[in-house]
Amino acid sequence: MSATTRAIRIHETGAPEVMRWEEIPLAEPKFGEVQLRHSFVGLNFIDANHRSGAYPLKSLPAVIGMEGAGIIEAVGDGVVDFAEGDRVAYCMVLGAYAERRIIAADRLIPLGLDTTDEVAAAATLQGLTAHYLVHESWPVRNGDTVLVQAAAGGVGLLLCQWAKAKGATVIGTVGSEQKAAYVANYGCDYPVVYTNEDFAKKVLELTDQRGADVIYDAVGHDTFEKGIECLAERGRMVSYGQSSGAVSAISLAGLRARSASIACGGLGTFVQDPLERRRNAELLFGLIAAGTLRLEINQRYPLAEAVAAHTDLIQRRTMGSSIFII
């Protein structure tokens, strides 16, 4: 009798209700693969984009989810870096919304004793995103002014803290007074409630009309063009998501006059190389263990309740990180 596992699978794209809790076949690990039993799975906005069709998948039905942590139960031939019983995490590999899965061993990150499975499932994708943003897309320097859009989200909270640790002044946009008070405890010097005031004008006011050296924007349509209005000379707008929809066509004239630039980022290109991925993850988890970065897991859901979790996420009810308990 062939093995099976339970998973959240979509047969069509659409609203959260298209997700189904199903029993699906579980193959044996092939050459270079392992069988992983999840203990926790991350909830990220990319999951909602896959589910809705905003980020098209290659085929359906599909198990969505891009991040998880757990224990290796079996290894295929050719696997030399991992063994049965090892604790590992991964990100940017589709198929995480399942109790068990088969995954290529070269996509795994080993976990040390200082990093729990829960922390790894909540922080790997969002934390490595924050890592490339502050080190690659715009290397944050002491004295920079940084604007973080959606500062109360999982990536946003880590960005605020990481930029602050590097000596930046951090401005963060949030959607409520409650979230403003929250992010003020996580490195955000100046929370701005965008529903109450024009964030671009506020940034210029806070910087004596100079603007922000870098703007980290995962919101897209609703914030991108206005953000350019408060970008400093020789500054950079970094687009790494589109939670409100795709960015409309923009004119480069305003950027050219200020010698400003736009950069785009996607985590997938920063986690392909196993050595780079492991090095960056070790730095991330080390900063979390040391308390330099505080990870806040404020929402925990059973995997079978993915519909409720996605509804909370897209309606902006969440703060910090969210995970599924397996």
The sign one gets for the Cα dihedral 138, 144, 148, 152 is positive
pLDDT of 1 reads 58
Q: Which residues contact 23 (CB under 8 A, 6 or more apart)?
A: 4, 5, 6, 7
Nearest residue to 280 (alpha-carbon basis) of 151, 171, 124: 124
Place domain 4-124+270-325 in its CATH homologous superfamily: Medium-chain alcohol dehydrogenases, catalytic domain (3.90.180.10)
Domains 4-124+270-325 and 142-264 share a fold: no
Q: Express as a percent the part of the chain with pLDDT over 70.
A: 100
Burial class (CB in 10 A: 0-12, 13-18, 19+), 19: buried
Burial label, 316 (beta-carbon count in 10 A; 0-12, 13-18, 19+):
middle
Q: What is the pLDDT of residue 245?
A: 83
Q: Whole-prediction pTM value?
A: 0.95
Average pLDDT over residues 90-116: 98
* Paired tokens of 73: 């139960």
* Mean pLDDT of all residues in 152-160: 96
Domain ranges across the chain = 4-124+270-325, 142-264
Least confident of 23-37, 93-107, 217-231: 217-231
Please indicate whether residue 247 or residue 151 has the higher confidence score (pLDDT).
151
Q: How many CA atoms lie within 13 A of 292 on its CB side?
A: 14
pLDDT at 131: 98
Phi/psi for 139 (5° steps) reads -65, 105
- pLDDT surpasses 90 at 143: yes
Strand order in the sheet with 231-239: 190-193, 169-174, 145-148, 212-217, 231-239, 261-264
Query: Stretch 200-225: mean pLDDT, rounded?
Result: 95
Which of 111-125, 235-249, 307-321 has the lowest average pLDDT? 235-249
How far is it, in rounded angstroms, from Cα 227 to Cα 219?
11
Report the CATH architecture of 142-264. 3-Layer(aba) Sandwich (3.40)
CB 78 within 8 A of CB 104: no
Over residues 50-61, mean pLDDT: 96
